[in-house]
Amino acid sequence: MRIWFIHLLLFTLVQSLHGNTINTEELFEKTSPSIFRIQVRDNDNSESFGTGFVINGGFIVTNHHVIENAKCCIAWNKGSNTFPIMKVVADDKYRDIAILETISNDNKSLALGNSDDAHIGMRIAVIGNPEGFENTISEGMISGIRNLDTYNNVFQISAPISKGSSGSPMFNSNNEVVGMVSSFYKDGQLINFAIPSNQINDLLLRYKTLKPPSKKLSLPDEYLTEIQGKAKSGDTKSQYMLGLIYSRTKNYSAAIQWFELAAKKNYYPAEEMLGYFYCYGTGVPKDKGKADYWFNQSIGHGNIEFKNRNQSP
**Does residue 183 share a domain with residue 120?**
yes
**Does residue 228 share a domain with residue 301?**
yes
Confidence of residue 16 (pLDDT cuts 50, 70, 90): very low
Percent of the chain with pLDDT over 90: 69
pLDDT score of 188: 63
**Does residue 303 share a domain with residue 247?**
yes
Look at 35-44, 133-142, 206-215, 222-231 and tell me which has the smallest mean pLDDT.
Answer: 206-215
**Does residue 120 share a domain with residue 104?**
no
Torsion angles phi and psi, residue 117, rounded to 5: -85, -10
**Of the candidates 35, 36, 30, 28, which has an alpha carbon nearest to the alpha carbon of residue 139?**
28
CA distance 79 to 34: 10
**Does residue 269 share a domain with residue 233?**
yes
Mean pLDDT of all residues in the chain? 89
Domain membership of residue 24 (yes or no) is no
Domain membership of residue 296 (yes or no) is yes
Look at 39-43, 147-151, 229-233, 304-308 and tell me which has the smallest mean pLDDT.
Answer: 147-151
pLDDT in tens, 89-134: 999 999 999 999 998 777 889 999 999 999 999 999 999 999 988 9
pLDDT score of 184: 78
Domain membership of residue 27 (yes or no) is no
Domain membership of residue 4 (yes or no) is no
The CATH number assigned to the domain holding 240 equals 1.25.40.10
**Does residue 80 share a domain with residue 125?**
no
pLDDT score of 3: 57
* Statement: residue 6 has pLDDT above 80: no
- With 0-12 / 13-18 / 19 or more C-beta atoms within 10 angstroms meaning exposed / middle / buried, residue 142 is buried
**Does residue 104 share a domain with residue 126?**
no
**Does residue 125 share a domain with residue 97?**
no
pLDDT score of 304: 87
- Who wins on pLDDT, 163 or 188? 163
pLDDT score of 190: 81
CA distance 169 to 206: 21
pLDDT score of 132: 86
pLDDT in tens, 212-250: 888 999 988 888 999 999 999 999 999 999 999 999 889
pLDDT score of 95: 92
**Of the candidates 156, 168, 160, which has an alpha carbon nearest to the alpha carbon of residue 50?**
168
Domain membership of residue 31 (yes or no) is no
pLDDT score of 77: 87
**Does residue 226 share a domain with residue 305?**
yes
Look at 43-52, 106-115, 182-191, 258-267 and tell me which has the smallest mean pLDDT.
Answer: 182-191
Confidence of residue 8 (pLDDT cuts 50, 70, 90): very low
Torsion of CA 49, 50, 53, 59, to 10 degrees: -60
**Does residue 102 share a domain with residue 165?**
no
Confidence of residue 64 (pLDDT cuts 50, 70, 90): very high
**Does residue 125 share a domain with residue 160?**
yes
pLDDT score of 248: 86
**Does residue 134 share a domain with residue 103?**
no
Domain membership of residue 14 (yes or no) is no
How many other β-carbons are positioned within 10 Å of the β-carbon of residue 128?
A: 29
Tell me what the mean pLDDT of segment 2-16 comes to. 46
Instruction: Please tell me the total count of domains within the chain.
Output: 3
The CATH number assigned to the domain holding 125 equals 2.40.10.10
CA distance 290 to 275: 7
**Whether the Cβ atoms of residue 276 and residue 243 lie closer than 8 Å to each other:** no
CA distance 27 to 76: 19
Domain membership of residue 99 (yes or no) is yes
* Statement: residue 74 has pLDDT above 90: yes
Range of the domain at 144: 115-196
